[in-house]
Amino acid sequence: MKRVISLIFVLFAFVLSSCSLSDDQPNFYFVPLQVLSAELPESFSLHETYQINVTYVLPNRCVSFEGFDVSPIAETTRDVVPIGSQFDDPGCVDGMAEVEGSFNFICLYSDTYLFRFWTGEDENGEQEYLEIEVPVNQ
């Protein structure tokens, strides 16, 4: 019985020691993805849910889409940024791809909504947006 317990203990110690966590550098980081276009309805109705379609760019094959960051800037202003995870891979293949995605939006306020979709930065490093206003039916 002591042999079995010793063997189990040795195997357990071997398994734990074989996992190396010494590389504490992240192998990916999050990046904003450039929006090319967005499809929104001509108007919203209060308390209704809408699917917002967005076309964005994956800059290379080492970037994977993670989701949309929809941030309220004011009561009815939303900044929308597609987020990707960029993997550190020296063998990464270049090649941009246009991709379509969507998110659901619930109209909660009766004022006109302003959506600002991130399109990149200008030559001075200033953020640029595609702005679309959507009125709410009363």
pLDDT in tens, 114-137: 999 999 999 999 999 999 999 999
Pairing state between β 35-39 and 63-74: unpaired
Distance CA 44, CA 69 (A): 21
Pairing state between β 94-106 and 127-134: unpaired
Domain ranges of the chain: 25-137
Query: In the CATH hierarchy, which top-level class contains the domain 25-137?
Result: mainly beta
Asked if 48 and 108 touch (Cβ cutoff 8 Å), the reply is no
Distance CA 90, CA 100 (A): 27
Q: Looking at the predicted structure, is the pLDDT value of residue 13 above 60?
A: no
pLDDT in tens, 63-99: 999 999 999 999 999 999 999 999 887 777 778 899 9
